[in-house]
Amino acid sequence: MTEEAITVSVELPGREYDVIIGNGILSSCGKPIASLDLGVRCAVISDSNVAPLYSEILCESLRKEGIQPFPVNIEAGEASKSMACAEKVCRQMIAGGHDRHSFVIALGGGVIGDLAGFAAAIFYRGIPFVQIPTTIVAQVDSSVGGKTGVNTPEGKNLIGSFHQPRLVVADTATLKSLPDREFNEGFAEVIKHAAIRDDGMLEDIMGIDDRENLVPMIARNVAIKGRIVEEDEKETTGIRAHLNYGHTIGHAIEAAGGYGQFLHGEAISLGLIAANHISCTRAGLSAAQSGQIRLALEKFDLPTSMTAGLDADLLLQLIKKDKKFNKGGIRFVVVPELGRAELRDDITESDIISAIQSLHDT
């Protein structure tokens, strides 16, 4: 590990794990993985974009530690986050001779992390897995917390499992190979963390001008996510639901676009603007603070309005299929002030329709 590597621990009783964040640490990550004693055979699940860049670097590091990697590569893109693809991955692992004594490594962005984690959760009724996230979305959010799953046409992440990783290794050097659009989308989740837990981070976000020296920012976000997961691992108290700020409407926008029109972070950006609208009208968020979120999103060229085409009624129907509905009622996260979130059950369909319509008005 390099000197600048930072380790953030996620303290879950009996399922503790570390998140190691550093610059240029992929080539040496075999050592901390081997120290977990998960076995000598692993499936390295990646995609057609990431595997050519980083799979062999990872596999060579594993071989040096006596671990035999078995690459399983899928097509890049949200469309691969499906039951059919999860079955394909599991069948390739079976064909490769893997069993309950193997483990999985997820090498890629959020799609790979969710899919590979889900495959690990169901393969032989559950085997260990390690997250090696290569996008900002995955490094600051989806690789931490144990939520795994796949999409259906009816909605995002409706089939899945809680399956905590045994280790997360986030190499910020991999972020340099991201196209601008994929790099920028990740900041929707960073901005969300600032909105719900750390308003002071907004100033630092506005100061980011390149892809260098991102380790402290990534670590700061991992710490936010980790503390929330520790407080409410399986969303039983409502605290973890705070991480869904902007996601109720954002996930509906993503689904309505067929998981292709919008990247995840782009849909969440629109969801944040809509959630800000509701927070202003129903929870007391000031227009000035809402404006800070908008400026931060615009800094990374994230959408803050959308053209006609995504009908409010269609989005509302998709929202009603979302996991965040509770006994038929809307559970919606609002931000009364930057840095503090609340889960409310008094947000109405009219509030949501008004928020969606506001996306066309700005």
Position 154 scores a pLDDT of 83
- Segment 60-86 shows an average pLDDT of 97
Position 330 scores a pLDDT of 81
Counting residues of the chain whose pLDDT is more than 70, the rounded percentage is: 96
Position 296 scores a pLDDT of 98
Residues 6+ apart with CB under 8 A from 12: 164, 229, 230, 233
Position 203 scores a pLDDT of 95
Residue 328 pLDDT level (bands cut at 50, 70, 90): low
Residue 195 pLDDT level (bands cut at 50, 70, 90): very high
Whether residue 324 has pLDDT greater than 70: no
Count Cα atoms within 13 angstroms, Cβ side, for 85.
26
Residue 123 pLDDT level (bands cut at 50, 70, 90): very high
- Segment 7-20 shows an average pLDDT of 97
| pTM confidence score | 0.92
Whether residue 89 has pLDDT greater than 60: yes
Q: Domain coordinates of the chain in residue numbers?
A: 6-178, 232-361
- Segment 44-51 shows an average pLDDT of 98
Whether residue 90 has pLDDT greater than 60: yes
Residue 164 pLDDT level (bands cut at 50, 70, 90): very high
Q: How many residues does the chain have?
A: 362
CATH architecture of 6-178: 3-Layer(aba) Sandwich (3.40)
- Segment 344-354 shows an average pLDDT of 93
Counting residues of the chain whose pLDDT is more than 90, the rounded percentage is: 86
Whether residue 25 has pLDDT greater than 80: yes
- Segment 194-209 shows an average pLDDT of 96
- Cα distances (angstroms) measured from residue 291 to each of 183, 186, 306: 22, 19, 17
**Comparing 4 with 57, which gets the higher pLDDT?**
57
Give dist(CA 288, CA 277) in Å, integer: 12
Give dist(CA 212, CA 24) in Å, integer: 12
Whether residue 362 has pLDDT greater than 70: no
Whether residue 350 has pLDDT greater than 60: yes
Whether residue 182 has pLDDT greater than 90: yes
- pLDDT single digits (tens) 255-308: 888 777 899 999 999 999 999 999 999 999 999 999 999 999 999 999 999 876
Topology classification of domain 232-361: Dehydroquinate synthase-like, alpha domain (1.20.1090)
Position 1 scores a pLDDT of 42
Position 344 scores a pLDDT of 95
Angle in degrees, CA 52, 55, 60, rounded to 5: 130
Position 177 scores a pLDDT of 97
- Segment 95-115 shows an average pLDDT of 97
Position 219 scores a pLDDT of 98
Whether residue 2 has pLDDT greater than 50: no
Residues 6+ apart with CB under 8 A from 50: 76, 107, 108, 109, 112, 134
Q: Is 230 exposed, middle or buried (0-12, 13-18, 19+ CB in 10 A)?
A: middle
Position 256 scores a pLDDT of 87
Scanning 232-280, the segments in alpha helix (DSSP H) are 247-256, 264-278
Whether residue 317 has pLDDT greater than 70: yes
Whether residue 309 has pLDDT greater than 70: no
Position 329 scores a pLDDT of 66
Summary mean pLDDT of the chain:
94
